[in-house]
Amino acid sequence: MLRDHPIAENDALDPLSFILNVIWLVAGGAMAALGWFLAALIMIVTIIGIPFARAAFDNGVYTLWPFGVRAVARDRIYGEDIGTGIFGVVGNILWLALAGWWLALGHVAVAFVCAITIIGLPFAWAHLKLAGFALWPIGRAVVRHDIEGRY
């Protein structure tokens, strides 16, 4: 059964989120997301990395369009699945040890650089959100921020 994604319910974001996302894409967000998608592809090719490919792809989607969305536990949306149970916890611990901590550290470092100027503050906040997601991505999904009460 194909499940609907929460973002697909209404693709229109508020105008400020849309503008910030466009600036984000032009200012490097597209390249960062491309890096995540490439990492997901490499993980799939290595066979051992297949369980982590979904996390890398989700990080890429979140990095591509970070304004107007947030990460929530996937079981609150879709119910229990393999990534939300004990396998998800074990996967997240491995992810954290092997990749998550240094990816999050990179986002935090860029956030500090962005926060130097007032114009960069929204982008610093986006990098902090991405840092949190990069630490523990398995078993989480990205949803629009305006449907907060539902999830």
Evaluate if residue 59 carries a pLDDT over 60.
yes
pTM of the model: 0.76
Taken in order 38, 124, 132, 13, the sign of the CA dihedral is: negative
Answer yes or no: is 7 within a domain. no
Domain count, the chain: 1
Q: Whole-angstrom Cα distance, residue 42 to residue 95?
A: 15
Domain span at residue 83 reads: 12-145
In-domain check, residue 120: yes
* pLDDT beyond 80 at 38: yes
pLDDT bucket at 128, cuts 50 / 70 / 90 = very high
Using pLDDT thresholds of 50, 70 and 90, give the confidence band for residue 22: very high
